Amino acid sequence: MSRLYPWLESVWHEWQASLQSGRFSNAAMLVAEPGLGGEQLIDVFSRAVMCSNYEHEACGFCHSCQLMQSGNHPDFHLVKPEKEGKAISVEQIRHCNRQAQESSQLGGLRLFIIEPAESMNESAANALLKTLEEPSSHCLFLLVTHRANSLLPTITSRCQQWHLIPPSSESVACWLSEQTKKSVPAFAAHINNNAPLTTLAFVDEGKDKQYSKLEQALLDVVQGKGDALKLAKELSTDTADKLTWLWFLLTDAQKVHFGVQLPQFTPGAASIAASSDYALLYSQAQALSQLIEQLREHTGLNSELLILDWLFKFNGETCL
Ligand SMILES: [Zn+2]
């Protein structure tokens, strides 16, 4: 078995025990934030389920394992959007439903991985519901989702749910320092939701330096001496990531007002807190999280102008 990321091991051991005792549900769901390496867990799981020799891990030698290695196992079905960003269609799910009625070709289980499950449109989700209500004993469905709350409750309630819990900021920083052979600060993990692989990319791509510049630029704006126009322009590329980093900075600064100081806090949190009162930080953090959501849902908006208006509000002004 290939080595798993350390934070996946506890879920994998539980899954292995379930598989070995035949208790793994025929309808299961994995809730995993991006950047946690959930795909590695799914890969190991799929190989184990398809292996003809063992129940809880892949032997690597049997015919089934070899078919999995070459990506040609006829009883393994990976269902995902036909194009990135598109929906999983009702036709795709109906095709699954038909396959689920048939016995497996190699005599073992048929495995369906549906990923990301939230990309099923409503009719696709409804079509799947019927199969999940009475899954046949020779089929196993694993739905993988980043956002369980965007799925129909009727779907989630029929699945045994598993959640991948992100490690702490300190353990992510420690793991990354080992991987990269350089010191990675805990705040880097913190502003990336403690997702180790996202943080690794953050460090590898030099985004930590980019963050430091943004932090200083925001502090200047909060102190009334910065260039809000320049910062708004800067924030209008890779907007979701950059605004999320600043959201962490503002929420850390709010906690500083309550006397909290944690090792993973953003370096500028104390200075922001010293330059702005709690109420303003609170309302600006709320407004920022709404802005992030608004820009995510409506791609055609003028992000630079909306960000500029948000920045102006630090000084009680508005540009809209
Ligand atoms: Zn095998």
Q: How long is the chain?
A: 320
Q: 45 CA to middle of ligand 1, Å?
A: 12
pLDDT at 2: 55
Q: Is the CB of residue 266 less than 8 Å from the CB of residue 249?
A: yes
What proportions of the chain, in percent to the nearest 5, are helix, strand and coil?
A: 55, 10, 35
| Averaged pLDDT, 220-239 | 95
Q: 29 CA to middle of ligand 1, Å?
A: 24
Whether 205 shows a pLDDT value over 70: the answer reads yes
Q: 102 CA to middle of ligand 1, Å?
A: 22
Q: 38 CA to middle of ligand 1, Å?
A: 22
Q: Is the CB of residue 209 less than 8 Å from the CB of residue 241?
A: no
210-213 CB contacts, 8 Å cutoff, 24+ apart: 210/242, 211/245, 212/267
pLDDT at 251: 98
pLDDT in tens, 275-319: 999 999 999 999 999 999 999 888 888 999 999 999 999 998 877
Rounded to whole angstroms, the Cα distance separating 134 from 85 reads 30
162: which 2 tokens?
A: 């598993």
Q: Is the CB of residue 100 less than 8 Å from the CB of residue 26?
A: no
| Averaged pLDDT, 66-75 | 96
Average pLDDT over the chain reads 94
Give the alpha-carbon dihedral of 99, 105, 106, 108, to 10 degrees: 30
Rounded to whole angstroms, the Cα distance separating 91 from 114 reads 14
Rounded to whole angstroms, the Cα distance separating 215 from 269 reads 9
Q: 111 CA to middle of ligand 1, Å?
A: 15
Q: What phi, psi does 112 have (nearest 5°)?
A: -115, 120
Report the relative pairing of strands 76-79 and 27-31 from DSSP bridges.
Answer: unpaired
Least confident of 40-49, 124-133, 190-199, 241-250: 124-133
Whether 1 shows a pLDDT value over 60: the answer reads no
Q: 70 CA to middle of ligand 1, Å?
A: 13
pLDDT at 150: 86
pLDDT at 130: 87
| Averaged pLDDT, 171-198 | 96
Domains of the chain: 6-163 (3.40.50.300), 206-315 (1.20.272.10)
pLDDT confidence band for 136 (50 / 70 / 90):
confident
Q: 68 CA to middle of ligand 1, Å?
A: 9
Read out DSSP for 154-207? HHHTTSEEEE-PPPPHHHHHHHHHHHHTS---HHHHHTTTT-HHHHHHHHHTTH
pLDDT in tens, 10-24: 999 999 999 999 999
